[in-house]
Structure 1
Amino acid sequence: MLYILALLIGVIAGLRTMTAPAAIAWGAYLGWLPVAGTWASFMSHWAAVGIFTILAIAELVADQLPSTPSRKTPPQFGARIILGAFTGAVIGATGGATIGGLVAGVIGAVIGTLGGAAARSQLAAAFGKDQPAAFIEDAVAIICGLLIVAALR
C-alpha cells in the first residue's frame, strides 16, 4: 500500500510540483503521517508546513501566468521528478521503505507530468482556453494530495 501511495503522491508532484510536499507536510504536522523517528521527521515541523504551503500557493498563482514555461521543459520536469522522489521517499520512510518510496515517487512524477500535460491540453481544447483547465488541475492536485495523505492515517 505504501508504494501505491508513494506512486500517487509522485503523480501529484507531476501535476503541481509544490502541492505534493505541502500535502505531505500537512499530513505529518497533523499526525496522519507517522514520520517521528525517521529521517523525514522535519516534515512535521510547523516551519516545513509554512514553507511548503507558501511555495504551493505561489506555484498555483504562477501557473496562471502566460509566461510560465511548460512542465515538460527540463528544469520544470526535473523539479517534478525531484519532488516526486522526495515525497515518495517520505511516505516510504514511514514503513521503512525509503528507497522503494523514492522510486515509486519518481515513476509517479513522470506519469503525472506527462499525463497531466496531456489531460490539461485536452481540457483546454474543450473549453477553448487554458485557465479553466488549469483551475481543474489545481483542484485535482490539492484534493487528491490531501486524500493520499489522509489514507496514511
Structure 2
Amino acid sequence: MTHALVLLLALLIGVVAGLRAFAAPAAVAWAAMLDWIILDGTWAQWLAHPITVTVLTILAIGELVTDQLPKTPSRKTPMQFVPRLVSGGFAGAVIGTAWGYTFGGLGAGVVGAVLGTLGGYEARRRLVARNGGRDLPIALLEDGIAIGGGILVAWLTSVI
C-alpha cells in the first residue's frame, strides 16, 4: 500500500475517533483479529487478542449509550476532546504500523480526530437545529456513521 493511502486511512480512522472515541480502536482491533490488518511482530499485535477486541467493543457500545445522556458534556470540552485525539492518534498509528508508517499514521489520526470532533459537532448542531431541536435522531445517525465508517476503514485496510 502506498504511503498516501496509509495516511488517508489513518486520517479517516481519526475522523471516526472524533465522532466516537472508542469506535476507532474497536474497529482496528476487529480488523487485527480478522486479519484484515496484519500486526504480527509489532507493538500493536495485542489488539488482535479476543479479550482486547471484547473490551474495546464493550467500551464502544457504552459510549454509544452515554452519548445519548443529557448530562454528557460537549465533545469540545478538554475532558471529551483530548481522549478523541489520543484515540485517533492511536488508531492511526496502528494502521500506519502495518505498513511501516507508525508516526505518520499517528499524526494523520490526530488530524482526523480534530476534523471529526469539530466537524461532527458542527454538523450535529446544524442538523439538530433543522430537526426542530430533536437531538436523538441526529445522535443515532452520527452513531451509525461512526460505526459504519470504522468498519469501512478497517475493511479497506485489507483490500487496498
Q: TM-score, normalised by structure 2?
A: 0.94
Q: Which of 46, 50, 53 is the equivalent residue of 2:54?
A: 50
* 1:37 partner amino acid: G
Distance, in Å, in 1 between the alignment partners of 2:79 and 2:88 is 14
Q: Any residues of structure 2 matched to 1:72-87 within 5 Å, and which?
A: 72-87=76-91
Q: Which of 104, 123, 126 is the equivalent residue of 2:127?
A: 123
Summarize deviations over 1:19-40 as a string: whole Å, max 9, x none: 0011111111011011111111
After superposing on structure 2, the runs of 4+ consecutive aligned residues of structure 1 that deviate more than 4 Å are none
Q: Any residues of structure 2 matched to 1:85-104 within 5 Å, and which?
A: 85-104=89-108
Distance, in Å, in 2 between the alignment partners of 1:42 and 1:11 is 23
Structure 1's unaligned 5+ residue stretches are: none
The answer to whether 1:144 aligns with 2:145 is no
1:96 CA displacement: 0.7
Distance, in Å, in 1 between the alignment partners of 2:19 and 2:82 is 13
Distance, in Å, in 2 between the alignment partners of 1:16 and 1:118 is 15
Distance, in Å, in 2 between the alignment partners of 1:127 and 1:38 is 46
Distance, in Å, in 2 between the alignment partners of 1:139 and 1:113 is 15
Distance, in Å, in 2 between the alignment partners of 1:115 and 1:89 is 22
Distance, in Å, in 2 between the alignment partners of 1:114 and 1:40 is 28
The answer to whether 1:20 aligns with 2:20 is no
Coordinate RMSD, CA, aligned: 0.5
Between 1:41-50 and 1:121-130, the stretch displaced more is 121-130
Aligned to 2:138: 133
Aligned to 1:38: 42
Q: TM-score, normalised by structure 1?
A: 0.99
* 1:58 partner amino acid: G
Distance, in Å, in 1 between the alignment partners of 2:25 and 2:128 is 27
* 2:135 partner amino acid: D
